[in-house]
């Protein structure tokens, strides 16, 4: 018989960049009776996203943020949507490119991530935000 569990974690970002949430997700998973299944993580925002990235070398995170800043740069003239400033539309574009939802297998009670992989909230706005990540777990 399959079991389900769900929660929402709140992540305070420091502004543009990646915040690792792997330890918080693992702590929540450890308290669940489900050992094998799938975890779905969903970022409830349009200017932040979720990303699996290397969690060993901090330069990877810096380079990732810099790449997306070049890909969808801030501009006072390039976008019609700038309701919250010049970082508003680029944040939406960066979210669209990276996504807000992912599924990660759970095996033996552990996330089936690779050795250097971590789960990150990718904040696309310059100022700090409080982001909500919905977690849903199903399995046996």
Nearest partner of 42 among 108, 103, 92, judged by Cα: 103
- List 20's β-bridge partners, or say none: 120
> Sign (positive/negative) of CA torsion 19, 136, 101, 115?
positive
- 3-class secondary-structure state, position 33: coil
Which whole-number Å values give the CA distances from 8 to 5, 23, 46, 82, 92, in the listed order? 11, 14, 17, 29, 22
Predicted confidence at residue 136, as pLDDT, reads 98
- 3-class secondary-structure state, position 100: coil
Summarised one tens digit per residue, pLDDT across range 41-65 is 999 999 999 999 999 999 999 999 9
Gap between the Cα atoms of 6 and 39, Å rounded: 9
Predicted confidence at residue 85, as pLDDT, reads 87
Q: Is the separation of the CB atoms in 25 and 113 below 8 Å?
A: no
- 3-class secondary-structure state, position 90: helix
Summarised one tens digit per residue, pLDDT across range 72-122 is 999 888 999 989 889 999 999 999 999 999 999 999 999 999 999 999 999
Q: What's the CATH class of domain 3-139?
A: mainly beta
Which residue do the tokens 């904040």 mark?
Answer: 123
- 3-class secondary-structure state, position 55: coil
Predicted confidence at residue 73, as pLDDT, reads 96
């Amino acid at each position: 018989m399959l079991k389900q569990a769900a929660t929402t974690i709140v992540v305070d970002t420091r502004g543009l960049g990646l915040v690792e949430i792997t330890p918080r997700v693992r702590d929540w998973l450890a308290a669940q009776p489900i050992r094998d299944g799938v975890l779905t993580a969903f970022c409830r925002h349009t200017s932040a996203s979720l990303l699996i990235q290397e969690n060993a070398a901090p330069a990877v995170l810096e380079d990732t943020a810099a790449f997306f800043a070049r890909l969808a740069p801030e501009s006072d003239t390039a976008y019609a949507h700038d309701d919250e400033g010049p970082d508003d539309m680029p944040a939406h574009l960066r979210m669209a490119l990276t996504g807000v939802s992912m599924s990660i297998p759970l095996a033996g009670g552990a996330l089936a991530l690779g050795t250097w992989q971590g789960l990150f909230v990718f904040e696309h706005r310059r100022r700090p935000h409080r982001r909500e990540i919905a977690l849903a777990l199903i399995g046996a």
